[in-house]
Amino acid sequence: MGAMSGDDVGKAVEGCVAALRPAVDRDWERVAAGSLEWSCRQTAEHVAGALLAYAGQLAGRARDSYVPFSLTLDEGTDNAGLLQVVETAGVLLATTVRTTPPGVRAFHPHPFGSADREGFAAMGVAEVLLHTHDLTEGLGLAHAPDEELAESVLTRLFPHVQPGPAPWPTLLWATGRGELPGRAPVTDWRWRNNLVIPTERLALTGIRPDAARDLRLGGDGGLTWIEGGPYEGTREAAGFLVKGYEAGVHRPEFGVFALVRQEDGRAVGGIGFHGAPDEEGRVEIGYDLAEGARGRGYATEAVCALTEAALAREDVDVVLATIEHDNTASQRVVARAGFVRATLDEERIAHEHHAVDTGLRLYVRRA
């Protein structure tokens, strides 16, 4: 599965219009859109408005809020005209996604305050797929969305949701629109764009499950790497991320991040957590760099940023790092990042009760 693109937005909009066109002569004002409180007319207008808004956010590089504009239809616009507006707004978003560089982010509130071009493409596709379902359900029309589009939305916007037997039923369940065997109904949901933590020279960019899967299989994860990257530790960490996602225990804020140089957009390494915090508020980090990026302070910069972000959370009290006895370079990195060597008693407890390898030194930094 490649990067989510403007073509995906176009494909979703094309399917929406094709599904709704047979009903353009009906009264959409008096028919509820599936389980929504909106009418079919209101829902179709919402789809057009969302596509236009996403295009505006991304094109305008909105920083802290929504760009202050909205969609207003000409008086007397009929349903056929409304579908034309949906198509047009879809083209605008698709074109904006295609022409926006990969590292650019713009404001969106959920959950970390911004999204990149893939995030906006995924949100646009989600709006189209889900509300086409609502509209066709209300109007009694057939609707069979592209399963690959549904899977793309899930891996980018619902990384915290365990994959189900098929992508489309899982997406419907995850958004409170259907049932999934063995899972409780969803009554409250929110999609999640990936987290990016900026530093002076880097952007710690959250790796999504689909990109992690590609890295695990030997690909580049949709990133442009410097020579020698990604290092093996990043690929191994990506594999653990995929396992967590498939098991339904992945928490994106405690996932894996690519270290992307802000000056040229190239990835130089990876950093991340070994999992979510335990019941004692302990979380462990690991990191690596491509050989060509070593000796420039990137690792220290990244470890400082990720550690401080973790310790700012209420559910984290201690950040741990385990390092080989002879890896003095990595030991210096964590020392510069404010970590101290654990006491002998702390190391004993880590070895006996937390399965820490006895061949590793334990370093800690507390809130």
Q: Is the pLDDT of residue 262 over 70?
A: yes
The first and second tokens of residue 150, run together, are: 């549904």
3-state SS of the chain? CCCCCHHHHHHHHHHHHHHHHHHCCCCCCCCECCCCCCEHHHHHHHHHHHHHHHHHHHHCCCCCCCCCCCCCCCCCCCHHHHHHHHHHHHHHHHHHHHHCCCCCEEECCCCCCEEEHHHHHHHHHHHHHHHHHHHHHHHCCCCCCCHHHHHHHHHHHCCCCCCCCCHHHHHHHHCCCCCCCCCCCCCCCCCCCCCEEECCCEEEEECCHHHHHHHHCCCCCCCEECCCCCCHHHHHHHHHHHHHHHHCCCCHHHCEEEEEECCCCEEEEEEEECCCCCCCCEEEEEEEECHHHCCCCHHHHHHHHHHHHHHCCCCCCEEEEEEECCCHHHHHHHHHCCCEECCHHHHHHHHHHCCCCCCEEEEEEEC
Average pLDDT over residues 147-159: 97
164/128 Cα distance (integer angstroms): 21
Q: Are strands 282-289 and 318-324 parallel, antiparallel or unpaired?
A: parallel
pLDDT at res. 271: 98
Please state, rounded to an integer, the average pLDDT across all residues of the chain: 95
Q: Read off the pLDDT of each residue in 4-31 and give the average, rounded to a whole number.
A: 97
From CA 41, how far away is CA 330, in angstroms rounded? 59
- The pLDDT tens digits for 44-96 are 999 999 999 999 999 999 999 999 999 999 999 999 999 999 999 999 999 99
What burial letters (b/e) apply to 110-119, b meaning 16+ CB within 10 Å? Answer: eebebbbbbb
Report residue 353's pLDDT band, with 50, 70 and 90 as the boundaries.
low
For 233-242, how does the pLDDT look when each residue is reduced to its tens digit (9 = 90+)? Answer: 999 999 999 9
pLDDT in tens, 87-124: 999 999 999 999 999 999 999 998 999 999 999 999 99
- pLDDT band for position 1 (cuts 50, 70, 90): low
In this prediction the pTM is 0.94
Which domains are assigned to the chain?
6-174 (1.20.120.450), 196-366 (3.40.630.30)
R_g of the chain computed on alpha carbons:
23
Write down the pLDDT at residue 279.
92
| CA–CA gap between residue 238 and residue 192 (Å, rounded) | 19
